[in-house]
Chains A and B, each alone.
Chain A
């Protein structure tokens, strides 16, 4: 494998890791506050559809992004209502959201666009275009660094950069601000937050809202940046992979970056090398495609050492007498 091929694989890794990273950070905010969210998948899917639909109709990808975020936040609000206000089971609420999104997107898409449950292809201003960073063209001839800068670092859509900037931002918010301290505390011991005179419900809704925003960006990225339009079930289990990455990352932002990059790399390799010939034995494409999912199962089976989830995770908070 030469240097340029390596760069291409890594470039593709970054593109594929972006939605995982956004969803993973979304889950991080929610779960750190003690709300398990298996509905990342559904929120992304709904956001993907509405961003593509609105971008197609208005011709503005930014309006599409806003619509995606708004639709994702509606589902997040639903999850919050079920699991915070009504103290329901968070897993069931999440599963319901996934089913709702899977069915609703196709139904509405068919009704609006009559193209078999997809949106028309997005062109021009209805899609996020790659950004060429300053000096990328000038530096390209410089050996090693030039191609690295030009091919790998430059040339992504704005959402990719936003996603990667979210990592230090999340870290800073969690560990350096009052909000972060309270958010982490409410996922560990809500009673401590409550007796300190801070609203448990308010904090948890804030976390769920942030989760909705990030899932919305992730969904919009899938439909308007990575691909050009919405197709049925286009999230393809990314929400679940993001959850696995979250466990792998032990609910920490920088680890989340590494974990999602690893999953992104596996997807990139699977895309690039459809059939690998290992001394006469050909590994079929299905095996390669299945790799990220196999890794998910391995991680969830607990082969990554001890990952301690937030202690109050999944438990509705009931004030004790």
Chain B
């Protein structure tokens, strides 16, 4: 057997009292794809940062092709043949593809020779790995999928043998993700070693040869992918049995709660974001909105939640609601029974420096139960209420005095969800309910949403996670370019069909 392409022995790293990585050892064989899976905060990113020279490990050794290698900085990582594709691309957006590729890997003081050499090498790489990108295009004009290719090309141009990809599919459409996997497959065939970091079990099962599971800074298992199941991996990640399938009874839709007719939104730059959206949601029903981020779903949530003005007609339980001017704001919406779990909880859902109990009051601070008298709020009552909600929603730690920023992503989201759901709204608007939330909390939040539906409430769910849309929704509407491309029933469609709609490729005349 040849030496492993990459071997870690006993890597440990602590940030203050937090042990981010504890005694981690793995060996990755050349020409394989090795998955690393774990919840948020399990220590995956720290481990990769150590490999790429961003952090120095407190203890442990790194071997590359059998040789002990020190990686004090990114330069050393690149020299050792490690290439990294970050979740958030490290590209200069107004540079060309070519300029981004040579940045930091120029051949001399003058640019021209480097550029022409890179152009040649790029053409070779393109043929070798079927990675097509126009070298003279400006990065910001490229689709996200193509920008990711540029990142891969950057690594290959630096002659990386080991390619690390951190959550590479988070920003891709299903079709783009398939393309990425074909590229990775091709790279594997050419003998490259790939490390794929993800929290999506499906991706691990689809493409990896071996998989390591991380939990709370430790590597809990390394197994051959062929010998494992998603259920087993999920259990290893969370440390207990997890329901991957959402359990829900068939919907029992009642009367129509929300009617939306020809809703239009134009942003501050004059760009039309919603181009005439019509939909309705009945009581006891979840309508899921699928789509690639940036196709108007955010604006749909925001206009319904009263955060931005729009044109058109919306009715709640038959009564028309103003879409602009007085009465079109978050408080007015909440007063009539529309609760909103915003997409970006850190920007729109919480004030990160404020205590949990203060955050629980937001949007409902006029509630008579929170007032002591005409002048003062009853903070003690508010804290009591917060403690009760935290208990019920299993927020950890259940401490109303903790600042929002000190909770993990999943627990922050639980605070927001608790605040909105516990008001017993007629309509719940919920955006990306499980973004950056770990598997255990995902299961819990999904259950709460379904429970609200079963109480006969209407729910509008927006998510870029197709799996989430398909498992939670009773009906699915697909948005593309500010329009609804079509509606499907989850049991009568599949990811391929939805993916085509999300890419705007098929239009069955639903709205346009």
CB nearest neighbor in A for B76:
A197
- When distances are taken between beta carbons in the complex, the residues of chain A under 8 Å from B90 are 189, 191-192, 194-196
Contact B103 A177 (CB under 8 A): no
Complex Cα distance, B84 from A103, in Å, reads 51
Report if A179 contacts B (CB, 8 A).
Answer: yes
Q: Which residues of chain B from 82 to 117 have any CB-CB distance to chain A below 8 Å in the complex? A: 84, 86, 90-95, 99-100, 102-106, 108-112, 114
Interface size range on B against A:
20 to 34
Given A193-B103, A311-B93, A321-B45, answer yes or no on A178-B78 (Cβ-Cβ < 8 Å): no
Q: Which single member of B52, B54, B95, B105 contacts A185 (CB below 8 Å)?
A: B95
Complex Cα distance, B111 from A184, in Å, reads 13
Q: Which single member of A178, A189, A311, A319 contacts B110 (CB below 8 Å)?
A: A178
Report if B424 contacts A (CB, 8 A).
Answer: no
Q: Which single member of A177, A192, A193, A311 contacts B109 (CB below 8 Å)?
A: A177
Complex Cα distance, B114 from A184, in Å, reads 17
Complex Cα distance, B52 from A194, in Å, reads 11
Chain A min CB distance to B427 (Å)? 37
Contact B104 A321 (CB under 8 A): no
Contact A178 B91 (CB under 8 A): no
Complex Cα distance, B78 from A311, in Å, reads 26
Interface mask (A252-281 → B, CB under 8 Å = 1, otherwise 0): 000000000000000000000000000000
Report if B169 contacts A (CB, 8 A).
Answer: no
- When distances are taken between beta carbons in the complex, the residues of chain A under 8 Å from B262 are none
- When distances are taken between beta carbons in the complex, the residues of chain A under 8 Å from B78 are 196-197
Report if A198 contacts B (CB, 8 A).
Answer: yes
Contact B112 A192 (CB under 8 A): no
Complex Cα distance, B106 from A181, in Å, reads 10
Chain B min CB distance to A204 (Å)? 15
Contact B91 A189 (CB under 8 A): yes
- When distances are taken between beta carbons in the complex, the residues of chain A under 8 Å from B73 are 197
Chain A min CB distance to B383 (Å)? 32
Contact A192 B94 (CB under 8 A): no
Contact B45 A188 (CB under 8 A): no
Complex Cα distance, B46 from A181, in Å, reads 30
Chain A min CB distance to B135 (Å)? 15
- When distances are taken between beta carbons in the complex, the residues of chain B under 8 Å from A127 are none
Contact B74 A195 (CB under 8 A): yes
Report if A182 contacts B (CB, 8 A).
Answer: yes
Residue among B52, B77, B90, B92 with max Cβ neighbours from chain A (10 Å): B92
CB nearest neighbor in B for A319:
B54
- When distances are taken between beta carbons in the complex, the residues of chain A under 8 Å from B106 are 178, 181
Complex Cα distance, B75 from A177, in Å, reads 20
CB nearest neighbor in A for B114:
A178
Contact B93 A189 (CB under 8 A): yes
- When distances are taken between beta carbons in the complex, the residues of chain A under 8 Å from B105 are 196
Q: Which single member of A179, A180, A188 contacts B92 (CB below 8 Å)?
A: A188
Report if B448 contacts A (CB, 8 A).
Answer: no
Given A195-B74, A321-B45, answer yes or no on A181-B91 (Cβ-Cβ < 8 Å): no
Interface mask (A66-96 → B, CB under 8 Å = 1, otherwise 0): 0000000000000000000000000000000
Complex Cα distance, B100 from A121, in Å, reads 53
Complex Cα distance, B75 from A193, in Å, reads 11
Complex Cα distance, B105 from A176, in Å, reads 15
- When distances are taken between beta carbons in the complex, the residues of chain A under 8 Å from B408 are none
Chain B min CB distance to A111 (Å)? 46
Complex Cα distance, B147 from A189, in Å, reads 15
Q: Which single member of B74, B75, B77, B111 contacts A176 (CB below 8 Å)?
A: B111
- When distances are taken between beta carbons in the complex, the residues of chain B under 8 Å from A178 are 106, 108-111, 114
Contact B111 A177 (CB under 8 A): yes
Contact B93 A188 (CB under 8 A): yes
CB nearest neighbor in B for A187:
B92
Interface mask (B310-334 → A, CB under 8 Å = 1, otherwise 0): 0000000000000000000000000
Chain B min CB distance to A109 (Å)? 43
Chain B min CB distance to A257 (Å)? 22
CB nearest neighbor in A for B75:
A197
- When distances are taken between beta carbons in the complex, the residues of chain B under 8 Å from A189 are 90-93
Q: Which residues of chain A from 178 to 235 have any CB-CB distance to chain B below 8 Å in the complex? A: 178-182, 184-185, 188-189, 191-198
Contact B111 A196 (CB under 8 A): no
Given A197-B74, A319-B54, answer yes or no on A179-B104 (Cβ-Cβ < 8 Å): no
Contact A185 B103 (CB under 8 A): yes
- What are 20 A-B interface contacts by the 8 Å CB criterion? A177-B109, A178-B108, A178-B111, A178-B114, A181-B99, A181-B102, A188-B92, A188-B94, A189-B90, A189-B93, A192-B90, A195-B90, A196-B78, A196-B103, A196-B104, A197-B74, A197-B75, A197-B78, A198-B104, A311-B93
Additional pairs, 16, CB under 8 Å, beyond known A184-B95, A185-B103, A193-B104:
A177-B109, A177-B111, A178-B111, A180-B111, A181-B99, A182-B103, A188-B95, A193-B103, A194-B90, A195-B84, A196-B154, A197-B78, A198-B103, A198-B104, A311-B94, A321-B54
| Residues of A that sit less than 8 Å from B by CB | 175-182, 184-185, 188-189, 191-198, 311, 319, 321
| Residues of B that sit less than 8 Å from A by CB | 45-46, 49, 52, 54, 73-75, 77-78, 84, 86, 90-95, 99-100, 102-106, 108-112, 114, 154
